[in-house]
Chains A and B, each alone.
Chain A
């Protein structure tokens, strides 16, 4: 007994579970969120009761009230992305080209942090950067840091935490694109009078560009919306837009503002990412 399906239907059947999932858990909530974002409190109603009044001014007010947090989010996310790239590129390069038989072990080590919860790892960073950790006393004794200066509750801690937490998302796509480079193109470059540095600049880097683009997006996008690092490692002065959205939703119960901020963040990220991909000009993005 065999069941033969008309060929045309197979792709749709395969797509169905994904579509159903996205529709239920992405499209519907987005529509709902959009509706919420233009609501205003019901006059005389309780906290958390809102009615639809197409108040697009919610967007303007939400943005104007939280300009600093928006700016901070993008600055921190950019910094974390740059640092992650600076750490991940040599790492991925070494794993792809120099690790020999240790390649698989090193790749497992890159993803090993995922075996522990994101929250737990961030809390651990609080310990590492704290007064009792090894870092601060060491830096102080070397006079690289003032006796009164601390790291926790500063922007440094938040950016460091984000860099650490998103590092695997940068490393893996970079590794994938570096590993795909045909070693003979590297040899060909040397054969054509390019020394090591020139070969790296003219051949290795351009060929790993799809990995750089993918890695920076996978780091930047979640980093821009992150609030865990800022709330655990930061202070009120390092609040990011994610923290504002979180407190609007869960503490102040100001759903319209939270929704408006969420949409603004989404739009801002979309615009930045589009500009970035245009600029990077990688048609063959992974």
Chain B
């Protein structure tokens, strides 16, 4: 089905882009709108067959990146390759890439069957009926084939949008905030389902979201984006346990970041001074560039004990319980430290110990290996702002 290349492409290889397969490579991509760089010198490889998430707050450039991969925008600078084929300037309909749009963008004038068949018919596929039926079964909605999109619930429309894309078995499936319009419960269910479907069909999924939990639930690899750049990339566990920047530490879950100074070495560990109290942490988990750093500890890694009882690992004394919130599976404490900082502590309600009371003097302790170190010149507030428009519900 050679449709030829559009004018102005540098393409010389005789592979029709529609048949391109392989890893997706973005090389030094910049997208500018006037003086503003929505995407700024971005380089990224997404391996074939992976479930990849681009995670970031609104305006971080993740959707622009996705639209450039889809062909709906053209990069100002840089190139996009799929396998060995340069697809930077090819038109959307010439790319073996399909998108599940935010709010689905189903064709309101066509039945569900014809919506799903749309891509197959354009490519002149023979067994349309068979393939549509198969994918309708995959998303468990075969009985809706003759309905119109407006007769479906949000969750059903979401599945049809997914079916309409995967029926084409694209080299790459792009999901643009696909679950954003669903309520919380349905979203959780769809996250698990999407992941299952991805394994089932074995396609490369690139998922754009601002919801860190959604990204962590589904993706093998997450790239956290901020201001047009990738802050950090890795598995959900890597990003959560060892964030390299304050933005990542705050955007993925919550973090306690305590200003400190590196005092020296102790084997594979660093000795850190936190407002006069010494702690240690693995050298490998420090991203500091000089001897100033922020020691980061996740709230659930902390243990609280009453002053005077035996403790293991790193300890910080002189804390006072400022606030207690009981939320069932855990109790969340705000602990005021002598140097004026308030730390978040999440305690599992699994030990039968009655919760601490407001005003009690406590000691905070944790395993040294849970500590991560950030550069001392980081903005500790980065990534904590919540955009009201993006808060679900």
Contacts and interface: CB of A to CB of B under 8 A. Distances in A.
Interface size range on B against A: 20 to 34
B109 A191 contact: no
Contacts of B164: 192
Contacts of A203: 107, 109
A194 B93 contact: yes
Contacts of B119: 192-193
B103 A191 contact: no
Interface in B90-107: 91-93, 97-99, 101-103, 105-107
A113 interface: no
Contact of B107 (A188, A193, A198, A209): A188
Chain A's interface: helix, strand, loop or mixed, by majority? helix
Given A184-B101, A187-B72, A193 B122 contact: yes
A161 B107 CA distance: 38
Interface in B13-28: 18
B126 interface: no
B168 interface: yes
A193 B93 contact: yes
Contact of B101 (A187, A198, A202): A187
Interface in B36-76: 70-72
Contact of A187 (B3, B105, B168): B105
B5 interface: no
A184 B105 contact: yes
Contacts of A222: none
Contact of B103 (A184, A192, A194): A184
Contacts of B18: 193
Contacts of B70: 191
A195 B91 contact: yes
A207 B72 CA distance: 21
Interface in B154-190: 164, 168
A193 B123 contact: yes
A191 B97 contact: yes
Contacts of A184: 101-103, 105
Given A184-B101, A187-B101, A192 B72 contact: no
B105 A182 contact: yes
Interface string B102-134: 110111111000000011001100000000000
A190 interface: yes
Contacts of A198: 122
B168 A192 contact: yes
A281 to B, nearest CB: 11
Contacts of B93: 190-195
Nearest to A186: B105
Contacts of A237: none
> Chain A contact residues (Cβ within 8 angstroms of B): what range?
10 to 19
Contact of B108 (A185, A189, A202): A185
Given A190-B93, A192-B119, A206 B109 contact: yes
A194 B105 contact: no
Given A194-B93, A206-B109, A207-B109, A188 B122 contact: no
A188 B101 contact: yes
A185 B118 contact: no
Contacts of A182: 103, 105
Contact of B98 (A192, A206, A209): A192
Contacts of B118: 189, 192, 194, 202
A192 B103 CA distance: 16
Nearest to A190: B92
Contacts of B92: 187, 190-191
Contacts of A195: 3, 91, 93
A266 B103 CA distance: 45
A203 B107 CA distance: 7
Nearest to A205: B109
A209 B109 CA distance: 10
A190 B123 contact: no
Contacts of B99: 187-188, 191
Contacts of B102: 184
A191 B123 CA distance: 12
Given A184-B105, A203-B107, A190 B122 contact: no
A187 B105 CA distance: 9
Contacts of A190: 71-72, 91-93
B171 to A, nearest CB: 13
B96 to A, nearest CB: 9
A202 to B, nearest CB: 8
A280 to B, nearest CB: 12
Interface string A169-213: 000000000000010110111111111001000110011010000
Contacts of A188: 99, 101, 105-107
A185 B91 contact: no
A207 B110 CA distance: 10
B78 to A, nearest CB: 21
Q: Please indicate which of the listed interface residues B70, B103, B105 has the most CB atoms of chain A within 10 Å of its own CB.
A: B105
A188 B123 CA distance: 15
Given A191-B93, A192-B168, A185 B107 contact: yes
B122 A185 contact: no
Contacts of B110: 206
A192 B108 CA distance: 15
A191 B98 contact: yes
Which of B3, B93, B102, B164 neighbours the largest number of chain A CB atoms within 10 Å of its CB? B93
A207 B108 contact: yes
A194 B168 CA distance: 13
Contact of B122 (A187, A192, A206, A209): A192
Contacts of A191: 70-72, 92-93, 97-99, 101
B6 to A, nearest CB: 11
16 contacts: A182-B105, A184-B103, A190-B72, A190-B93, A191-B70, A191-B92, A191-B93, A192-B98, A192-B118, A192-B119, A193-B93, A193-B168, A194-B122, A202-B118, A203-B107, A209-B109
Given A189-B118, A191-B97, 6 more contacts: A187-B101, A188-B99, A188-B107, A191-B72, A192-B98, A192-B122
Interface of A: 182, 184-185, 187-195, 198, 202-203, 206-207, 209
